[in-house]
Amino acid sequence: MDIGFIGLGVMGRPMAANLIAAGHRLTVYRDSAPAREVLGGRARFAGSAAEAARDGEAVVLMLPDTPDVEAVMRGEDGVLAALRPGTLVIDMSSISPAAERGLAAEVAAAGGEYLDAPVSGGEAGAREGMLSIMVGGDRTAVERAAPIFEVLGGRVSHIGAAGAGQVAKAANQIVVGVTIEAVAEALRLAEAAGVDAGAVRDALLGGFASSRVLDVHGARMLKGEYEPGFRVALHRKDLGLAVEASARLDVSLPVSGLVHQLMNAAVAAGLGDHDHAALKLLLDGRTG
């Protein structure tokens, strides 16, 4: 498939490389030294988002935040300016669900199709093509995207209409972030009480407290290994999207709001580039 791929950061680079390795032809944006290093000679480098989008049957976006996606879509040399009827736009960034619904409507008005398809699984999942992909949009568009998703993802969940993928991603980041804090507080209490926190984790893994976070992030906390993984600063952004949505929808998410603030505190303490398991370091009173 001819694919425009926009966003060649930590996640986008391995994703684009996997698509090329699977036989797709990519026009990528934007140019950078790390992007040349990974993709040079195997992809066409475009000079603008519009140029990346112009000839593709599909355009994949993997960008940091809502304003980045809106700029790439609506800017002067943006995707919407170059969109041909029938083009499938797949936004795999993690951004606001409400923004996503607006963009889906604009793409539909221009004759294209749109999916929001944020992922979880981090850099390792991107490298291994084992991302969990949460998709919002029409079934027909999801079927068209299958040759792309099957390269990038280990699991594809079609959640619902436009924006639903982002809602699922926000829910995912709430559960993961809050559970990390739960595990951090439990282990901190054990340590402060002079009890072997590793024995506590082992005991808890056998009961209702069991979770992948207790297993994986709990082990990181006990070993004091905080290389990302998934950075506190990025998780802070994702929880910010949930907090923003909660005010728009008039729902109260008290613990999500508090963990968002604790991630603010962690960033302020210099822990923003640590793995999100570093919420434990914040409880320990340590800085980055």
Closest to its own copies by CB, 144 or 276: 276
Rg (CA), the chain: 20
Closest to its own copies by CB, 78 or 125: 125
Nearest-approach distance from CB 203 to its own copies, in angstroms: 4
103: left (phi over 0), alpha (psi -120 to 50) or beta: alpha
**Binding positions for its own copies, rule: CB under 8 A:** 97, 120-121, 132, 134, 155, 157-160, 163-164, 167-168, 170-172, 174-179, 181-183, 185-190, 192-193, 195-196, 199-200, 202-204, 206-214, 216, 242, 245-246, 249-256, 258-259, 262, 283
- CA 67 centroid distance within chain: 15
Nearest-approach distance from CB 278 to its own copies, in angstroms: 15
Mapped onto helix, strand or coil, the DSSP state of residue 157 is: strand
* Distance in angstroms (rounded) separating the CA atoms of residues 173 and 18: 25
Question: Annotated catalytic residue: which of 169, 223, 237, 280?
Answer: 169
Place of tokens 């969109």: 83
State in Å, rounded, how far the first CA of the chain is from the last one: 45
> Strands 131-136 and 119-120, how do they pair?
antiparallel
Count of CB atoms within 10 A of residue 273's CB? 15
169 is catalytic: yes
Nearest-approach distance from CB 3 to its own copies, in angstroms: 24
Closest to its own copies by CB, 78 or 137: 137
Closest to its own copies by CB, 29 or 230: 230
Phi and psi, residue 282, nearest 5°: -60, -45
Place of tokens 């993928």: 165
Nearest-approach distance from CB 124 to its own copies, in angstroms: 11
Active site residues: 169
